[in-house]
Amino acid sequence: MTFKSKNVNLTCGKITKEIEIGKVEMIELETIYSSNNSSAIEFSIIDQDKEIPIMPIGDQVIENERIFFGLPLRFSIDRSKPYQIKKDGVSIDMTPEMAIGKNDGVYTITYTPLNAQQYAPVSDKVKLKVVMRLYSKSAEAPFIKSALIRAYGGDALWIDRL
């Protein structure tokens, strides 16, 4: 029997090559993935020089999004729905604005976003950016099984599997 030690990257990411979508009116993201209470997966569309966060269709909430000091959340929060903020994995009673102003631990938020599942691209080529975060070295890492960009309107209706 052999014992080994692994160093786990707590944050990793990938940007795809350019995906030709043609002149379309709107795109959506369909994914099959897994994350848990100690991890998060973030998806974004890169359109020319802009990065636009996107939530996969079928998802209702953003889970465990990392809150960075002084930076806004990836999406606007639907304030009519509940949200949960954690500091170092423990739920705390704090507003998102207060958490954004803190720099004394790892803050995360689970919330319902507004207008997060569709994007109207400017160009006819986009890239998909994925960031996976693990908040505990002993937790199971998140994974992505598949991702599809659905394009609607314009030149044609099609789906491209990544």
pLDDT at 3 over 90: no
Q: How much of the chain, in percent, has pLDDT values that exceed 90?
A: 82
Domain that holds residue 149: 1-59+117-162
The count of domains in the chain is 2
Same domain, 54 and 2: yes
Name residue 73's amino acid.
L
Q: Are 109 and 99 contacting, i.e. CB atoms less than 8 angstroms apart? A: yes
* Contact residues for 100 (Cβ-Cβ < 8 A; gap 6+): 67, 68, 69, 70, 71, 72, 73
Same domain, 98 and 143: no
Same domain, 3 and 32: yes
pLDDT at 5 over 70: no
pLDDT band at 153 (very low <50, low <70, confident <90, very high): confident
C-alpha span between 63 and 71 (Å, rounded) = 18
Same domain, 71 and 105: yes
Q: Are 117 and 62 contacting, i.e. CB atoms less than 8 angstroms apart? A: no
Average pLDDT over residues 73-85: 97
